[in-house]
Amino acid sequence: MDARELRFAVEELLHAYVRCIDSDRLEEWPEFFTDPCVYEVMPRENADQGLPIAVMYCDSRGMLRDRVVAQRRANIYAPHGYRHMLSAIGVTGHEDGVVSARANYVVYRTFLDAVNYGHSELFSVGEYHDTIVFENGVARFREKLVLVDTARILSLLVTPL
């Protein structure tokens, strides 16, 4: 795969990933990851201090599925949808079939509850640090670190970023 093909594959993966979340197909979300994997939503505040606690930390597809089942069946929150904006997508490394990539993201949250129906707000700003591998030609995240600038989370975070 040459550099141009690789970049295209990374962009396609990222775009498919955010479309999956933004169209509320969360049951498909774990399929974007290898198993095991690491999915971590880490406030930059902690990363900068070298502190290990993230607001979400999953190390298997099973944990990702459990997040989705909890969101669908257990957690209480104002119904909402996301719209991701991606920019500055770039391949930062490629060795032995393991690709490192970065992208900036912005997520707007739009409420669907009775009080705030249709209200959109800027919900989260940050950066994806991804490690991507190809399994039978399918690109998947082996590691997705969501480094969150917006450490002060509005109300709560239930839908993954």
Contacting positions for other proteins (CB under 8 A): 41, 43, 45-46, 51-63, 65-67, 69-70, 73-78, 115, 151-158
Q: How far is CA 10 from the centre of its chain?
A: 14
> What CA–CA distance (Å, rounded) separates 28 from 21?
9
For residue 78 the two structure tokens come to 């104002």
> Residue 13 or 58: which CB sits closer to other proteins?
58
> Residue 10 or 145: which CB sits closer to other proteins?
145
We find the least distance from the C-beta atom of residue 52 to other proteins, in angstroms, to be: 5
CA dihedral (58, 61, 62, 64) positive or negative: positive
Q: How far is CA 77 from the centre of its chain?
A: 19
We find the least distance from the C-beta atom of residue 84 to other proteins, in angstroms, to be: 17
> Residue 112 or 153: which CB sits closer to other proteins?
153
We find the least distance from the C-beta atom of residue 69 to other proteins, in angstroms, to be: 6
**Three-state SS at 90:** strand
